[in-house]
Each structure stands twice: as C-alpha cells, then as structure tokens.
Structure 1
C-alpha cells in the first residue's frame, strides 16, 4: 500500500504487521531518518547484532532467507537494505509470499517514478511504499519548530520564517543545522532572527538534487558545493550516480519531445508527470537549452561508466563520482559560453 503524508508519522511509531517498507524519493536525509526510526522502533537500536542485519545490494537474492531467520534472543528482526533497486523486486515478491517474520526496510532514493519495486509494494497488503520529498511551507516550519522544541529551544516567528527559506532541501542537513543552532543559543533560550542568520550556513539549503540540477544547468560552483555537502551527509557515490542518470534520462525524454513535437522548453516541461517542484523548473528549463538529445545520451553513458568503475574493487569511488558529476557541470558551462540558445 501507499501511505499518505498524514499517515507516515503514526506508521513510523507502529509499523504493525507490515513486513516490507520501501522509502523512496528525493530527500536522502529523510529516507535515512525514517529508516533509522523504523529500525529503532522494532529492534530497539540500530546495531543489535541479533536483531538488525544490513544486507549488501549485491546479496539481494538472499533476502527471503535472511528475513526468515529467527533471532536467537527473541524479538522481531529487521533487515535493512541501502541503495535498493528494481533488482530487489523478485526477492521481495518471494518474501511476501512466505511467512518470513522480519521487517525489511528498503532505502531506494534512486528509484524511477515507474519503478517495478515501488509498484509491487504499493499493491501489496503487507508492504508499504513511502515517498520522501523535501519539505516546504507549513510542513517545514513545523519540523523546524518541533526539532528546536525537542532540544529545549523556542523560535521567534520571523526566525522560523527565515529558516524555512534557507532549510528543507535535505532532512539530515536541516536537522544538523537546527541542532547546531540549538547549541548556539543554549538551553531554554529562544532563536531570534539575528541568531538564525548568524548560525545557519549558506550551504544549509543545498541537497543532492541541487547538485544535479546545478550541474546540468552549468553552475559548476553550486554543483560542487552541493555535491560536497550531500556526500558529507552520507550520500553514497553509486547512489549519486544513479540519481544523476535518472535526472539525465528525464531531461532526455523532454528533449526528445521538444524535437519531435517542436515544442518550446517551457511547454515540454509542463507535460512532465509527475511535475517538477516549482523551484526546480528554472534550472531544468535552462538545462534544456544547453543539452540536446545526443549530448544527453552521452552524459548518461558517462555516468553509467562511472558507476561501473565505482563497483570495481580498489577504485576511488568518491573521486570517480565527483569527476563524473562535475564533468557534466563543466560541459554545460562550456555550452552556455558558446551558445546560450536552444540547439536543435
């Protein structure tokens, strides 16, 4: 089944008889936060060797057997899979047909919109798919207030409004900035606008998506800063590259539609389903003026080759990932310098 946003908090407190949870979407930090909340709720901690098992992506075929194993000390086990892909669909379907008692938590930040894994779990009575997207507006303001309140700190309305404009791109980054802010003002204090502006860094609003959108729009500096922050917050190189491939594939589909139907970029972007977040429209449209279908296909191939390199033992995966993403940014920037108009 698919949970509505209003149902997520209650589910995280009590997943009940659900056996497989898929966390997908653009907010890598939120995916990690929610995964950890589920693990703690069922197993009591993140690192209990008897109750918590982390399954490598390469061993996904053993998922049904791992989920069927019983804990030596009693209690319900949790099997956590990071960087889940559609390759997990078969093992998950086999697991759901069995009586395996464990809770399986899948983190799939790079999954496509029409992912087979997501579709399977949305249709399963004892499976759940939860979207994790950057918070905005009232939801983000409430997260800011509740996080600071949990740290024993209040916040003035104008400070909360300013923070909402500068945070929210990634849950982990938002939480880290708010924890730093709480330490800055001290216990039982209030955050005013001056404290918020003094403490929250310029990079706080940047996420992995910002890195990818900036790269294809030719903004090398923002791509570099956002990528550095995302990787410091735990984004894995393979995950970054897969999300980059997904971003380029989406641009490629729109670019092909522009060429086939002779559509302006703005009209082609409006046809996207699901639609872009409003703040992503400008850099996405800008990218369409810098890339054609041929160069986008070449970019997809380059990221796929970098992903293969990251999987080779002994290769510097972080370096390969950064080089691949920043190569896109430099290529787009060079295109902007040569010809700012749409190339057909």
Structure 2
C-alpha cells in the first residue's frame, strides 16, 4: 500500500488491520518519528503491546533477533511492536524476507523509520507492493500545518493562544519537527496556569530567555553530526539576531570542555568525568556527550579550537565586519559534515 501526505498521517492514526508492517519515510525525521509514534499508539489501542526497539546494525548482523521477535508470542498475551530506525537501503534484503513471512507466523507488528527514499528505492517499492504492508511518505510541515499543529498541541494541554501570538511563535520555529516539538513543549510549560491566552509579549519573552539555550543546542547538534537539525537550528539563532561571535564563543566553550574530558579520560579518571567538568555533564546527558567525544578525539578538538580562535580574530579585525556570519555558517557546515562521517 502506498500513501502520501495527509493520507499517510491518517493511516498512522487509524491503521489498516491487514497491514502489520509499515515503512515511514520522509525528509524531516521529526515528522517521521511523530507518525511512527502515532502508529504505535494506534496499534496499542487495539491490543496491549510491548515496544521493542532494535538497532539496525544489530539486526543486520544477527537477523535471527528480528525473526524471533516477529514470531514470538508473549506468555502474558501482550503483542509486540518492533521499531527500527534505518537509513537508505541497508535493510532491504532483510525486509524482503519479512514481507514474505507467512501470515500465520507473524505475531508482531513492525514499523521501520527511514529518511527520504526516491521512487527507485527497492525498499520503498517492496513495501508499496506488499499486500501486508504500508509505505507512508511524509512531507515537511508548511506554515499552515505548523500553525494547526501548535494550536492542537496547546489545546491538548489546556493552553489558549492569541492569533497574533500564534503567528509570532510559528514564525520563529525551526523547519525541523523534532526541534519544533521541543519549543512547543516549552511554551506549554511556560503558559501552564497562566490564566489567560498566550500573548505576543509572552512569546517574545520566551524567545529571549531561550536564546543561549538555542545557541548551545545548535552547537551540540553540529558536534553530534546531525546535519538537518544543526542547519535548522543555526539558521534560527542567526536569523533571530544572535551575534555570530556569540555562537563561535559557544563552540569554543563546548570544544574546551570536551578537550578537558578527553584529558581526564586519558589520565585514567574515567569515573564521573562528567561531574568534574564545568559546567558538569549530568548522568542523563553523558551518553550523548560520550558519543561526541568519540567523534572528536584530542587532535581534532585542538585543531577546532585553533580554527575558532582564528575565526574570532578575523571577525574582530579591521575590515572584518560582515565576515562573521558567512564564516560561521561555513564552520557549521564543515563541522556537522565531518561529525556525521566520524565513527
């Protein structure tokens, strides 16, 4: 089954019982993730189930993990929903086998999340052609889509918002759904028990208090190697008027903190390294921080800090006015591209 746009979103909220397998794909991984969450929620309404998230590399290395999960029947009578995030055609051969499973052997449901797949994609074609599967093609949000999304989200939290305030808020949102979701959550918390509709002044106040946090998030996304999210967040903070120098300094602070962490680990003090840093890395943030450390070993961090110093001097030097933002954007692209390719 092949579904696009609104039809794909409707399927995610009310799936066809004849399709236990779904491929959800699109340019915006946040939109894809939201649709996958909606599909899982809909499946769980019909039958209590446990969600089993599998790693694509693990599944490719040991296919039996996936096949066993597809056939396993819970002793408690609960179903199983298998969730896998993948890229491109990596799992095509495996999914071809899954789609050919005899119906009587299938005890679980499967949702596969992917990036954008063109019409020549073998994986996409297989799901579109299979009678027991759905291929859901999701598109990035338009301004109208985002306005409706924000209003519906706030209403679900018991929050009202003025029309002008809604336009102001949506205008400042990044074009990336997962980042937009985070901003909506902040607005809902901000407006909790406000006792009146959210105003333009409220939105502007919230944006001002979030400026440093947004800049830091842009830096972390770039160092993590998330191109789409990093680009969207960088555009947002620079378009909102944040000084390129401020963003470069934020990069420098984070790179220095990572360099200190590498030094502590090199001295054999791996225990509680995060809490020894300034600012500290809390336990919940440590796994993501550690992933960034693996992408940025000491020599690369040293070169990065040297480049940041040079960039700041260039932007401050006589005749350097106006060089800050283009150079900062170029730095961002270089860093998130390098990080996305690092192990």
TM-score range relative to shorter protein: 0.5 to 0.7
Cα 1:116–1:158 change in 2 (3 A) is: same
> For residues 166 and 330 of structure 2, what CA distance do their matches in structure 1 show?
37
> For residues 202 and 187 of structure 2, what CA distance do their matches in structure 1 show?
8
Q: How does 1:1-344 map to 2 (within 5 A)?
A: 1-16=1-16, 17-43=18-44, 51-57=50-56, 58-60=58-60, 61-62=63-64, 63-98=66-101, 99=103, 100-109=106-115, 114-187=120-193, 188-200=195-207, 201-202=210-211, 225-226=217-218, 228-229=220-221, 240=226, 317-321=291-295, 333=327
Tell me by how many angstroms 1:316 deviates: 5.1
Write the deviation string for residues 237-278 of structure 1: whole angstroms up to 9, x where unpaired: 58x48x89xx9xxxxxxxxxxxxxxxxxxxxxxxxxxxxxxx
> For residues 322 and 24 of structure 1, what CA distance do their matches in structure 2 show?
30
Alignment TM-score, normalising by the size of structure 2 = 0.58
Write the deviation string for residues 266-317 of structure 1: whole angstroms up to 9, x where unpaired: xxxxxxxxxxxxx9xxxxxxxxxxxxxxxxxxxxxxxxxxxxxxxxxxx953
More off after superposition, 2-11 vs 149-158 = 2-11
Aligned length: 242
Tell me by how many angstroms 1:166 deviates: 1.3
> For residues 117 and 187 of structure 2, what CA distance do their matches in structure 1 show?
33
Write the deviation string for residues 131-181 of structure 1: whole angstroms up to 9, x where unpaired: 344312211110011111111111111111112211142222222212221
State the match for 1:263 in structure 2: none
Q: Is the 8 A contact 1:147 1:175 kept in 2?
A: no
Tell me by how many angstroms 1:189 deviates: 2.6
Show structure 1 runs of 5+ residues with no match: 207-221, 232-236, 248-278, 280-314, 338-344
Structure 2 counterpart SS, 1:169:
coil
> For residues 333 and 112 of structure 1, what CA distance do their matches in structure 2 show?
33
Q: Is the 8 A contact 1:156 1:191 kept in 2?
A: yes
> For residues 230 and 135 of structure 1, what CA distance do their matches in structure 2 show?
22
Cα 1:125–1:189 change in 2 (3 A) is: farther
CA RMSD of aligned residues (A): 4.1
Tell me by how many angstroms 1:102 deviates: 1.6
Q: Is the 8 A contact 1:140 1:164 kept in 2?
A: yes
> For residues 107 and 26 of structure 2, what CA distance do their matches in structure 1 show?
26
Show structure 2 runs of 5+ residues with no match: 236-288, 312-325, 332-343
> For residues 329 and 172 of structure 2, what CA distance do their matches in structure 1 show?
30
Structure 2 counterpart SS, 1:122:
helix
Q: Is the 8 A contact 2:25 2:32 kept in 1?
A: yes
Q: Is the 8 A contact 2:36 2:111 kept in 1?
A: yes
From the CA coordinates, give the structure whose radius of gyration is larger. Answer: 2
